[in-house]
Every structure is written in C-alpha cells, then in structure tokens.
Amino acid sequence: MVQDISRSIEACAAHYGEDAGAVKTYLIEGQAKALALPNRGELKFDEDGNVAQDILNAYSKYGFYILENVLSEEELDDIKADLEKMRENFPAHMGAETDTHGRPALGADNKAPTLQWARPLSDPLGGTEIFNGRHQVKLFEPKAADDAPPAVPVYLGGSLQFSPACLRTYAHPALLRLAEAINGPDFVPFTEGLFIKDAGLGAAVSWHQDGDTHWDSPDFDEDIHGFNFMGQVYGSTAVNGVWVVPGSHKVGRANLVKMVEDAGSERLPDAVPIICNPGDVVINSRQIIHGSFANTGFEPRLSVNFGFHKRSSVLNVCGAGMHAEATVMDDAFIDTRARVIGLAIDARKQRFPHEIPYSYAPFVARQDEFKWSAAAQSSLKDYNLMDLSI
C-alpha cells in the first residue's frame, strides 16, 4: 500500500512558483512510473538457498530493487528507540559540544566524521568541490519556514557505533546473503550512516554517482563500486525520497551538467523516485545516477544505510579519500574494518535467537573472536576512520 502524499505534493509544488504545475506533474508521473517497474517484491530464495534469479536480473537491469517487508515491526521499533536516544544526545546546535541537557553531545569527542548539518531545505553539496566534485549541479533551495532552525541534522556517519539496533540490522542474514550473491562470499564493508530527512526541513542531495575510483578501469563493470542497502524506517516517497535514473549504473560516469541542461531543469525526465513502505530495504548500485530534493512535505524519512564492495575492488587499492583518509587498503586493513561484520552477526544472534545467523566466509574459522557486549559496542568508537571508500 502506497502512502497518500497528495498534501505533500501540493506543498512541494507550491515552493516552485510558476513551475508549480510542472513539479506537481513530475512528482505524480514519477511515482506512477516507479510503481510500474518490475523491481520490487519480497527477498526470496530458491530451493537451493540462492537469491531468486529474477531479483538479481532486475537489480542488474535497473540498478536498484525494493525488497519489501525485510525489517519486522520489532526491528523497526528497536531502531526508532535508538534514534530517539541518539537525538536526545545530538548537539544542542551545530558546533555545540553538549546536548540540550548539558551532557557531552553524541560524537563530540570522536575523531571520525559523525553528525553532519545543513541549512533547512538547502543543497549543501550541489555545485561544490566536496566529495571530489561529484555533485555537479546545484538543486533548487526552497524557502524554509520562518521559525525553522538555522541548521538541522542531515546525516550521521559511523552509525553502528551509536546504535546497537542499526548494528543488528547490518547483520540481517537475508541481506548478507544478497550481498554475497552480488559481491561474492568474501565481500567487504563500505560505510554506514543514517540519512535524516525531517519533514519540512530535510536538505537536498544533488544528482550524483557515488563511485569515484574505478571509472576508467579496464575491469569496469556495473558492480565495481559496490552497492548500498537503504532500510526505510518511515517509508520513502516521491517528495522525501531518493530519485534514480534506472539503468544508469552501466554506462560509466555521467555529465550531469549536460543532462540538466538538456532537460531544461533539474527534473531529469528519466528519473523515478524510490517508493517504499516502512520496513522495506532498497539495494541500489553506487554507480546509479541518484539524488533527492529538499523535503518540503509532511512525511519524514530516515534511511539506515550500509554498503558493501567486492574484495577485488578495494584490495591494495588507494581509497578515494571521501569517507576516510586515503590509504592503500591491504589485507590487514580490510580485515580490521570487517571486524564490525563479526560483531554485528553475534549482536543479532543475541537479539533474534530464532534466526539462522549469516556465516561470513572470511571469519568462518574465527567466529569465537566476535562476541558482542556493551564493551564490544564501545570498542567500535571511530571505526569509520577505516571506511573502505572507492
């Protein structure tokens, strides 16, 4: 069942002045096109335990797939409870060392990037050199309400250190089996975070492609830069969600400036929104053209993001320097960063003992090394300094 977002569509379009009609049509038609695509359904496995081939085929063709009802109500409630605790401990304002209760704020003493802020409804990355200039165009920035705060949280990096619930979701056995099907049994981590798009406040993320390192590689293929899972806590709509250009993950690095010029606006004609209900998880190629408009609607979005790579894409490769300091990622470096997978599997096993836990091939002989506890959770502090960024 799709959320009724008619009020949000009207509210969004109203920000665009003489383009209001075109924006309304774009949102409505985009939603219809997205729902007509054959790339959504339950995460199914065949009689041999392999991911259903139709899922893999659709993901390969379109560059994304909506996996329905992956996260249970119980798991969603755990994530929401953690989010409430974390938000209570967010800095009182951008740059503050304490929260509104006077306690040391979440991330205040971290070395690694944690909570990122932006002006409400702004596009902080578009048209800048941030992230190696991959956000080539700047999106329209609607005017926020007069009582909006000067800055709002938009992304929490290294989220697994702050949220045991997100750590457990990271080890969802069905999702890790899908990661194995695409990237091989020796797949490796990428990065993890929470995308926060509060209603009437959430910032835009300009059109971009995530991959950076291997565009000119002789071994280039549609999977060389990995993928992200995006777990949807509240759902995702045409107004607050990510838009993608289906199939664009196969064609190499795009000239987004020209694409916007050819379209006559930022509304790329071939793009569709990723429409989800709470508990759905999206898998999307990091090479697909994607972005999101400012959330001028009434529904919030919280995406639990975590990505994985093929080991061959990162082994002895110098990182891109976007999510962590650029360094050559050798076996020892990768093994240390992958430790979080082992801890996550045990954390999930403790919380959901009825499940058959995923067995991660590189650690199959070392499973006893990874035991989750409060102390183990604390040991994850700044783990994202070693994100495998390519």
Q: How large is the average pLDDT for residues 276-289?
A: 98
Contact yes or no for 70/279 (Cβ under 8 A) = yes
Q: Does residue 321 have a pLDDT over 90? A: no
Structural domain includes residue 68: yes
Structural domain includes residue 38: yes
Band (320; pLDDT cuts 50, 70, 90): confident
pTM of the model: 0.96
Which residues, in sequence order, are bridge partners of residue 301? 197
**What percentage of the chain reaches a pLDDT higher than 90?**
92
Contact yes or no for 89/156 (Cβ under 8 A) = no
Tell me the residue type at 321: G
The 10s digit of each residue's pLDDT in 132-183 is 888 889 999 999 999 999 999 999 999 999 999 999 999 999 999 999 999 9
Q: Does residue 61 have a pLDDT over 80? A: yes
Using DSSP's 3-state secondary structure scheme, residue 218 falls into: coil
CATH number at residue 377: 2.60.120.620
**What percentage of the chain reaches a pLDDT higher than 70?**
100
Structural domain includes residue 1: no
Q: Cα 324 to chain center, whole Å?
A: 17
pLDDT value of residue 129: 84
Contacts of residue 218, Cβ cutoff 8 Å, sequence gap at least 6:
none
Q: What string of DSSP letters covers 171-184?
A: T-HHHHHHHHHHH-
Structural domain includes residue 247: yes
Q: What string of DSSP letters covers 142-160?
A: PPPPTT--S-EEEEEESGG
Least confident piece of the model among 114-123, 158-167, 209-218, 253-262: 209-218
Contacts of residue 36, Cβ cutoff 8 Å, sequence gap at least 6:
none
Cα separation of the two ends of the chain: 37
The 10s digit of each residue's pLDDT in 330-362 is 999 999 999 999 999 999 999 999 999 999 999
Q: What is the dihedral of CA 84, 86, 92, 96, to 10 degrees?
A: -170
Structural domain includes residue 214: yes
Cα separation, 79 vs 233, whole angstroms: 8
Q: What string of DSSP letters covers 313-382?
A: HHTTEEP-SSSS---EE-HHHHHHHHHHHHHHHHHHHHH-TTS-----GGGTT-GGG----HHHHHTTTT
The 10s digit of each residue's pLDDT in 2-59 is 899 999 999 999 999 999 999 999 999 999 999 999 999 999 999 999 999 999 999 9
pLDDT value of residue 133: 80
Average pLDDT, rounded, for the chain: 96
Q: Does residue 324 have a pLDDT over 80? A: no
Cα separation, 181 vs 108, whole angstroms: 38
Which structural domain range is residue 210 located in?
Answer: 6-386
pLDDT value of residue 323: 74
pLDDT value of residue 151: 98
pLDDT value of residue 319: 78
The 10s digit of each residue's pLDDT in 96-143 is 999 999 999 999 999 999 999 999 999 999 988 888 888 889 999 999
Band (329; pLDDT cuts 50, 70, 90): very high
Structural domain includes residue 326: yes
Number of structural domains the chain divides into: 1
Q: Does residue 1 have a pLDDT over 80? A: no
Contact yes or no for 369/362 (Cβ under 8 A) = no
Q: Does residue 275 have a pLDDT over 80? A: yes
Cα separation, 368 vs 380, whole angstroms: 18
> Beta-carbon neighbour count of residue 322 at 10 Å?
17
Structural domain includes residue 182: yes
Q: Cα 362 to chain center, whole Å?
A: 25
